[in-house]
Chain A
Amino acid sequence: MTAPAVPAPTPATTGEMPRVRESSGRRNAELALLLFVMLLVLAYAATVEATALDTITSDFWVPVALVAGVFLGLHVVIRFLAPYADPAIVPAVALLNGLGVAFLRRIDLAFADANERADLPIFSGVGGRQLAWTLIAVVLAAGLLIIVRDHRAVSRYAYTLGLVGIVLVMIPAVLPGKFSEINGAKLWIKFGGFQIQPGEFAKLALVSFFAYYLVRKREVLSLASRRFLGIDFPRGRDLGPVVAVWLLSLLVLVFEKDLGTALLYFGMFVVILYVATERVSWLIIGLLLFFGGAFLAYTLGASVGGPFANFYQRAEIWLDPFADPYADGFQMVQSLLGLGTGGLFGAGPGGGQPNKIPLVVSDFVFAGLGEEIGLFGLSALLVVYLLIVERGLRAGLAVRDSFGKLVAGGLAFTLGLQVFVIVGGVTGLIPLTGQTTPFLSAGGSSLMANWLIIAMLLRISDAAGRPVTGATGGRAGGPGGGGPPAQLHGAPTEVIRS
């Protein structure tokens, strides 16, 4: 970070000015992008009604205005509390989230009775619930920005977070099925009409724990190792605790049959380990374990069955979805047919029949959108996702402390991996494993957890973008929010020389 923002040891007044201008420039860009993105969503919502209802209702703009309002609120919070944060992240996420709300409302229209369509209340149906969840999730994200003024503060609670992560993952497994099972997957906590998927929140907690632990141990991990088969293995006691936490969560997920999340945690852990130790051998071991495990699960599924039968079945469907198009392969077949029907340009918002695809509001939301916005629309969405992920990674690159690097890198990579797993699944690139499509799928837990991840990335990118004042990095800051925040505690997060 050789930021040229501070030209010379000039007097303090001029030293302040460019910084203020820079941060407000970023925020203005964010505001402009946000308004543009909300206009796009508004146009989408209008097109949906024009096509699906043959008319545009007088209140079609209300859901868009509501999400736009809460996004603008978040923008204001960022303006004051994270002025140097990356200005592209919030508009990009807002576009996805806004489209998600509008698309789910479009699905509600498809399922509503023909004569009640035009009068569908704003907060009814899946779309209405998603709208409500969006409002809550964004407020939660703003809350995280308000409470956590320095991301390094999080590392103080790393062990607690690790424990919380494990508990969150395990709760549904230990709860009786009555309170935890929906559609055969034991991933929920249900009480009354309310349900929440605790595992979604575990990602953030576990990444924080892994990051903290590996930062503490990275020297030992990379130096004190034994060579075996040309690969450096660290000593068991150094790696033990993280591997234990990781294995535990993985095991639970496998027995909850949530293979997608298990794969996600696996990838997340391998990447954090790799980034922390800078040793390619971890990647190789990770990939070998992954492919070996997948192959083993497939063969065991074919011969033994039991807990592996599910995986085997999914692999078989992936290899030939049309083998049993009305039963096992039904979801995949309908997804592919929907995508194919969309073709290059799509049937237009509101013009397709995405309600033909099973689970179109959750797992298959990408295929449902694809039928209406086509290859070009989906490509644009992929670019938006890629933008968010790469901006998150960039925050990791730019931030000066290892903990921040690992958290930002881990979260951003996991987000990208999640998009890959679910989008690859519904488009037939890889076997399908149930996952939410971040910000698009219906579901409060997913939305809240992902918005918390975005808030964390914003916080870290703010720290990264904050110009260095004073002679050397790290300690100078003072009251008034000028320089980087002071170390809030004695956690040994080093400043990295790179």
Chain B
Amino acid sequence: MNAPLRRAGVVVMVLFGLLFANLNWVQAYKADDYRTSPYNARVQVDEYNRPRGVIEVGGKALAENKATDGELKYLRTYPFKSQFAHVIGYKPVNLGATGIEQAEDEFLAGTSDRLFADRFRDMFTGEDTAGGNVVLTLSLRAQDAAIKGLANNDVGSTRGAAVAIDPNTGAIQALVSMPSFDPNPLASHDTKAAQAAYDKLNADKQGPLKNRALSEVLPPGSTFKVIDSAAALESGYQLNTRIPAGPTYTPPTSGSPIRNSSSGICPESQVTLIQALTESCNTGFARLAVELGANKIKEKAKAFGFETTDLKVGNLDGGGLTVAASRTGDIQNPDGSEDKAALAQSGIGQNNVRMTPLQGAMIAATIANGGERMRPYLVQQLLGPDRRTIGTASPKKINNPITGDVAADLQQMMVSVVENGTGRRAQIDGFTVGGKTGTAQDGDDPKDHGWFIGFVLKDGQPISAVCVLLERAGESGGSSAAAEIGGQIMQAVIRDRGAD
């Protein structure tokens, strides 16, 4: 009987060996997965044991904490409710954070390497390291003006976006997407209520959770004519170079004619370049695009930031909110040759051309900034828990899509648009305002998108550049309403800076 007993002993050893091996798998190999699993409530309890850093603008907290009696000691609150929702995002208990809450999560949570010294100190003092604070570049006034402008637009658009950028630095002054949402219920400690709130927002057909300023790509319409103009000026055209126009233009290979938006616009066979932009002459720019060729247009658009897939709006570490890529689309026949009909349509921002509002603002900012395109960013400063400065954003140039001379010419053309042409409603007394409106057809929908991109200068120095989009704004008027909102936002920036 001893032999089988010994074997039973071996069997027990093998069974325990299996237990041991599996325990190694669970506690060593998979440990990190489990430790940081979103299902692991321990992570949350630890995380909520110390106050998360504050996200602030102009000394006001946009995201702060409230002490609770519950197991999770701090509740994240957003006192401005929907006003900054798309920028700040929210920090839910069970799911991943969004917006700045996500982009700066490590710093806000106090686990960033930048806060190592603080943690090291607190290890000895026994305190729980609070998270670091994040100061944003936003202007409270500009943000407010953008929200009010978008919400009270006179063309009945319920969806839209607005972005304002400091052309000198790339610092974002306003970033609004409409409709917005209140992030507070999403951060509730009652995870079922939070989930229900999320489900409701997610199911909303208006898409309030979507950040239209960064992730919506729509046909830019006539605002794209600025790109054509830049390409033309670089190819030797002058402001007063006369370009062919006329009431209709039928591209060489296709039967569908391109018309101007009204018969009063450039009916003459030739107009100057500056006149064409001022009046937003469709036939003129369609012919110009065909004249210049698809490659020149696409190249110029690319230099201005089209086709960029990895742009993120955040601090200078490179992280942040992902920006959808703007595209010029294919402008060729199936055999690879240039599709002139498509090219003519693309030249006036239709066909497959798609742009984000941020991209629109960056085009205006680049022109206002003498041709230097700056990286857009949202985080101005990182402060330690004791409000010691830990990092400050340093502006960074991405490239020079155009020379200073071309930029100056484009400025002049765009100022003409606001002073004499379609963008009159953007005017600001005492300041030089330039811009370009756009009305874009999207599919068969009779309601067009209204666009405005523009900038404001004081003594030749840029103060702000904006892009305003009103989705499905109506058959006409959308773009001039957008221009008015753009003007209001820029005015708010001026007042915020005390420049008036």
Contact = CB atoms under 8 A, between A and B. Distances in A.
Interface in B10-29: 11-13, 15-16, 18-20, 22-24, 26-28
B310 to A, nearest CB: 32
B2 interface: yes
B203 interface: no
Interface string B289-330: 000000000000000000000000000000000000000000
Interface string B1-43: 1111110110111011011101110111011111101011110
B35 A409 contact: no
B5 A378 contact: no
Contacts of A333: 39
B45 interface: yes
B20 A382 contact: yes
Contacts of B20: 379, 382
Interface stretch (A28-36, A115-123, A271-279): A271-279
Interface stretch (A65-73, A79-87, A335-343, A466-474): A335-343
Interface in A67-120: none
A409 B34 contact: no
A417 B12 CA distance: 7
Interface stretch (A12-20, A200-208, A424-432, A455-463): A424-432
B46 to A, nearest CB: 9
A2 B6 CA distance: 18
A281 to B, nearest CB: 12
Given A274-B4, A275-B8, A405-B5, A382 B19 contact: yes
A209 B341 CA distance: 96
Interface in A323-374: 325-326, 333-334, 336-344, 352-353, 356, 370, 374
B393 to A, nearest CB: 36
- Sorting the interface of chain B by its residue count into under 10, 10 to 19, 20 to 34 or 35 or more gives 20 to 34
A402 B1 contact: yes
A213 interface: no
A424 B22 CA distance: 8
Given A274-B4, A397-B2, A375 B28 contact: yes
Interface stretch (A149-157, A228-236, A383-391): A383-391
Nearest to A218: B1
Given A336-B34, A382-B19, A417-B15, A353 B1 contact: no
A344 B19 contact: no
A406 B40 contact: no
Given A341-B40, A416-B12, A416-B15, A275 B5 contact: yes
Interface in B408-463: none
Given A386-B13, A402-B1, A409-B5, A337 B42 contact: yes
B41 A386 contact: no
A375 B1 CA distance: 36
A429 B18 contact: yes
A393 interface: yes
B28 A498 contact: no
A275 B4 contact: yes
Nearest to A393: B9
B258 to A, nearest CB: 56
A386 B19 CA distance: 11
A402 B5 CA distance: 11
A496 interface: yes
Contacts of A344: 27-28, 31
Contacts of A390: 9, 12-13
A30 B8 CA distance: 26
B39 A343 contact: no
Nearest to B19: A423
A413 interface: yes
B1 A343 contact: no
A53 B37 CA distance: 28
Contacts of A379: 20, 23
Contacts of A336: 26, 30, 34
Contacts of B12: 386, 389-390, 393, 412-413, 416-417, 420
A465 to B, nearest CB: 16
A496 B34 CA distance: 52
A179 interface: no
Contact of A340 (B4, B8, B33, B41): B33
Nearest to B21: A429
B22 A428 contact: yes
A325 B42 contact: no
A384 to B, nearest CB: 11
Nearest to B15: A420
A427 B19 contact: yes
Nearest to A408: B5
Contacts of B32: 340
A278 B42 contact: no
Contacts of B11: 413
Given A278-B1, A417-B15, A382 B23 contact: yes
A341 B43 CA distance: 9
A336 B16 CA distance: 18
Given A382-B16, A498-B1, A340 B26 contact: yes
A159 interface: no
B8 A343 contact: no
Contact of B45 (A353, A409, A498): A353
Contacts of B40: 337, 340-341
Nearest to B43: A341
Nearest to A276: B1
Given A336-B34, A353-B42, A275 B15 contact: no
B30 A340 contact: yes
Contacts of A394: 9
A393 B8 contact: yes
B15 A370 contact: no
B96 to A, nearest CB: 16
A396 interface: yes
A60 interface: no
Contact of A341 (B5, B23, B34): B34
A119 B35 CA distance: 32
Contacts of A326: 39
Contact of A374 (B19, B27, B33): B27
B192 to A, nearest CB: 10
B27 to A, nearest CB: 4
Contacts of A352: 42
Contacts of A343: 27-28, 31, 35
24 contacts: A275-B5, A278-B4, A325-B39, A336-B34, A340-B30, A342-B27, A342-B31, A343-B28, A343-B31, A344-B28, A353-B45, A375-B23, A375-B27, A382-B16, A382-B19, A386-B16, A390-B12, A393-B8, A396-B5, A405-B5, A424-B22, A427-B23, A429-B18, A429-B19
Interface of B: 1-6, 8-9, 11-13, 15-16, 18-20, 22-24, 26-28, 30-35, 37, 39-42, 45
Interface of A: 271, 274-276, 278, 322, 325-326, 333-334, 336-344, 352-353, 356, 370, 374-375, 378-379, 382, 385-386, 389-390, 393-394, 396-397, 402, 405-406, 409, 412-413, 416-417, 419-420, 423-424, 427-429, 496, 498
Given A397-B5, A397-B6, A405-B5, 6 more contacts: A343-B27, A382-B16, A413-B11, A416-B15, A498-B2, A498-B3
A-B residue pairs, 6 tightest by C-beta: A340-B34, A375-B27, A416-B12, A429-B22, A343-B31, A337-B40
